Amino acid sequence: MSLFVLPGMRYWLAIIVLHFFIPIVSSASDYIGISTPHFAFYFHSQDERLMRSLIDQAEGLRREIVDDLGIDFEEKTKVYLAPSFRKFQEIQPGREIPSWAIGVAYPSLNLIIIKSPRAIKRGHIDLIKVFKHEFTHIALGRAFKGREKVPRWLDEGLAMYESREWDLSRVSTMTRAVLTDSLIPLSEITHYFPLEAGRAELAYSESFYLISFLISQYGRESFHEFIKEYSGGKGLKEVLMEVYGIRWEELEERWRNYLKLRFSWIPIITSATTLWFLVTIVFILVYLKRKKAYRLKLEEWEREERML
């Protein structure tokens, strides 16, 4: 989960907040600081073993993400691993964060704050996935130069795409939406996501598949050009026509057709009738294979008898 806590805040004001915020945290005696070429990591000693694994991979993970975006930046990203929920709240530069949040990215501050897996009472946290998700928000936000106009479907969809956040429940969500013709229009997930849990889950899933559609159908180079032109200040509809040669409405229609092709066949192959049919086919193939092997064995015995 990633939250943007600085809506409408000017870039220079965010930098001032960061200036006053960082020394308080980084100077605390119970935090360890380790730097790499593009990151400054801060964490408690209890999390050192866990963080070492992330730190060793961080530069490579960063390179994968900026390569996918086609845009890079030089400033170091600060990453804090909070050892508890209380610490997670204390070091936030903005308002209070919901208790269910795991990580927060502040692109204007070039700052990531993640809750330690030790502080999570239920479930398992993949720290690498959380890091990739939050850094994708940072990289995209830096590409847009601190502007708070990144569409939600682009911001969340790309973060999910990079962190490979997918499971069977989301496949089920998409399949149900496609078959019942209940997909959320893209215009409704451009500025915000629904608050209702089921609809929010669908919004995240749709966002992932929209990014997947753009990259798989039109290529990574075109996606790089799309991000470059869009983050440079041009309007979305203008960039879509310039880069992909399609209107916004046409994009949505193609994307919906893409989803129908991808998900409409899933209930067919997972139905009980289909499964029994496949079992029957497998049984027949095994039977024929054994029958052929038995026939070949008989022929071999006959040849041996003739030779004798």
**Rounded average pLDDT over 250-259:** 93
pLDDT in tens, 277-291: 445 566 667 666 766
Share of the chain above pLDDT 90, in %: 44
Say which residue, 308 or 211, is predicted with more confidence: 211
pLDDT band at 95 (very low <50, low <70, confident <90, very high): confident
Cβ-Cβ contacts under 8 Å for 35 (sequence gap 6 or more): 41, 76
d(CA 305, CA 308): 5
- Gyration radius of the chain's alpha carbons: 26
Q: Are 97 and 3 in contact (CB under 8 A)?
A: yes
pLDDT band at 293 (very low <50, low <70, confident <90, very high): low
Question: CA–CA distance from 281 to each of 99, 269, 284, 287, 297 (Å)?
Answer: 51, 14, 5, 10, 24
Say which residue, 98 or 57, is predicted with more confidence: 57
pLDDT in tens, 202-227: 999 999 999 999 999 999 999 999 99
d(CA 221, CA 219): 6
Would you say residue 47 has pLDDT above 60? yes
